[in-house]
Amino acid sequence: MTQAPKDADARRAIPPVIAYPTDTLPGADLPLYRSALSGAVLTDSITVPPRDARCFEVPAGCFFRIVSVEGPQVGDLDLWNAADLSERFYSGKTRALHGTHVTTGNRLWSAFPFLRPMATIVEDSLDWYGRDSHGGAVHDVIGTRCDPYTGALLTGARYHHCCHSNLTRALSAARNMPLAEAEAHVHDVLNVFMCTGFTKDTGQYFMKASPVRPGDSLTFLAEIPLLGALSACPGGDCSSEHSSDEAQCHPLRIDILKPRDGDMAGWQSPAPSGYDRSHGT
């Protein structure tokens, strides 16, 4: 290790600065959303089998809810603009704006050049968890998704029901496209119900048993017309491992809810970023 300079402690002591202050970030009208949600009507329900994924669509201004139904289970969520798959959830920018884990009031942002809210979290039954003594919290945007490529790299395994593959199959089936074409659209996820953080000594990404229990849910407003895909992770509650058939796994359910006419009065779907894309030319 390189010898530390004489002013090492002083350099470390410099206070941090928030990279993206959110004082001027467009906020969600949560009272309106919650009021509309209270009278919303269930229009569809999709069950995601263990170690598999399903796609679903949500009209703009409607709600979708991810529900734990039988036992502790985490899910990997991808989102796209239903009319344009090039507009997709941007986990990195969501993380930069809201932090490593998201909860009520936070928004899932889309990729460049759109950069607008795709969905807003309206209710989170696990918001009580906060951050534990290990630095863990729930619903992360720091992990990617379990995938066959990393498994092959680290262990030589050939496992086909990890979340990346599940999402690829689901999108392929939903949009009737070849697997290779669908895979190109699968991207980093929101790890729903997953409890994660970084170790204090090595800074490594860790997972631990999810606090989710049957009946827990995470509810969103679709800010734009959405195509979603949810994988019921092969890691189950992610208390020990993923990308295998060893963990006990359970299904997840996605409920689609439509507000009553007039209950979202005044709401408008957000426009894409106003940046002119001139990039200095």
* Distances in whole angstroms, Cα of residue 223 to Cα of each of 42, 59, 112, 174, 187: 18, 9, 17, 21, 19
Please tell me the distance from the alpha carbon of residue 177 to that of residue 84, in angstroms, as a whole number.
Answer: 14
**Phi (first) and psi of residue 105, to 5 degrees:** 95, -20
Q: What is the DSSP letter of 24?
A: T
Q: Does the pLDDT value for residue 30 go beyond 90?
A: yes
Percent over 90 (pLDDT), the chain: 93
**Phi (first) and psi of residue 159, to 5 degrees:** -110, 130
Please tell me the distance from the alpha carbon of residue 115 to that of residue 88, in angstroms, as a whole number.
Answer: 9
- The pLDDT of 172-199, averaged and rounded, is 97
pLDDT at 243: 76
- The pLDDT of 85-97, averaged and rounded, is 98
pLDDT at 186: 98
Mean pLDDT of the chain: 96
Per-residue pLDDT tens over the stretch 152-170: 998 888 889 999 999 999 9
pTM beyond 0.85: the answer is: yes
Per-residue pLDDT tens over the stretch 196-214: 999 999 999 999 999 999 9
Name the 3-class secondary structure at 229.
Answer: strand
pLDDT at 102: 98
Task: Give CA 110 to chain center in angstroms.
Answer: 12
Q: Which two tokens stand for residue 57?
A: 């669509």
Tell me the sheet residues that pair with 55: 229
Per-residue pLDDT tens over the stretch 101-118: 999 999 999 999 999 999
Q: Does the pLDDT value for residue 271 go beyond 80?
A: yes
